[in-house]
């Protein structure tokens, strides 16, 4: 019985270690909040761009009001000041790949992350003026938006494929 007691205590300990080694428990809660906030911003990018993309592809009927709303949201989201969410030291090498896909290159000397963000905000502004002007105008503007998302991900987001 005694040895069983030791065994189960060992198992409990191993389970506790497992929690520390995976997931986000080992990350400072304030840093974790910042990471979650920037990931949520990206999700909002994707949601709004998805609405425009569905119209561009003809999966959803073009609706000028809905297109303008999504494009307006996207433009506003791209103008947020990212200072507090892109904390130095919140890259995947430091926090772990299970926590973030943000590459250390974002914070390295010569990083072009600011230019990449600017490219998206300019493309989103073009989209905001075009989206309500008909399906052709929307289609004409969406390529640059998608390219700006991809242009930043290529260099600064870890790709797991």
Q: What is the largest CA-CA distance in the chain?
A: 77
Q: Which of 27, 45, 52, 73 binds ligand HEC (CB under 6 A)?
A: 45
Please, which residue, 25 or 97, has the CB nearer to ligand HEC?
A: 97
Q: Which of 68, 100, 130, 142 binds ligand HEC (CB under 6 A)?
A: 100
Please, which residue, 63 or 92, has the CB nearer to ligand HEC?
A: 92
Range 36-71 burial, b when 16+ CB lie within 10 A, else e: eebeeeeeebeebbebbbebbeeeeebeeebbbebb
Q: In angstroms, rounded to a whole number, what is the distance separating the alpha carbons of residues 45 and 70? A: 9
Residues in the chain: 161
- Assess 56 for contact with ligand HEC (CB under 6 A): no
Binding site for ligand HEC (CB under 6 A): 35, 38-39, 42-43, 45-46, 49, 100-102, 113, 116-117, 120, 145, 148-149, 152-153, 156-157
């Amino acid at each position: 019985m005694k040895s069983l007691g030791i065994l189960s205590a060992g198992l409990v300990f191993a389970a506790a270690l497992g929690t520390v080694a995976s997931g986000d428990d080992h990350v400072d809660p304030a840093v974790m909040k910042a990471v979650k906030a920037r990931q949520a911003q990206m999700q909002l990018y994707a949601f709004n761009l998805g609405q425009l993309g569905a119209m561009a592809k003809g999966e959803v009927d073009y609706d000028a009001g809905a297109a303008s709303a999504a494009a307006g949201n996207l433009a506003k989201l791209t103008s947020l000041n990212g200072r507090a969410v892109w904390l130095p030291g919140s890259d995947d090498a430091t926090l772990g790949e299970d926590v973030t896909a943000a590459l250390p290159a974002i914070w390295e000397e010569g990083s072009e992350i600011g230019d990449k963000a600017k490219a998206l905000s300019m493309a989103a502004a073009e989209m905001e003026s075009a989206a309500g002007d008909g399906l052709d105008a929307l289609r004409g503007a969406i390529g640059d938006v998608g390219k700006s998302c991809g242009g930043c991900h290529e260099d600064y987001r870890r790709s797991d494929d």
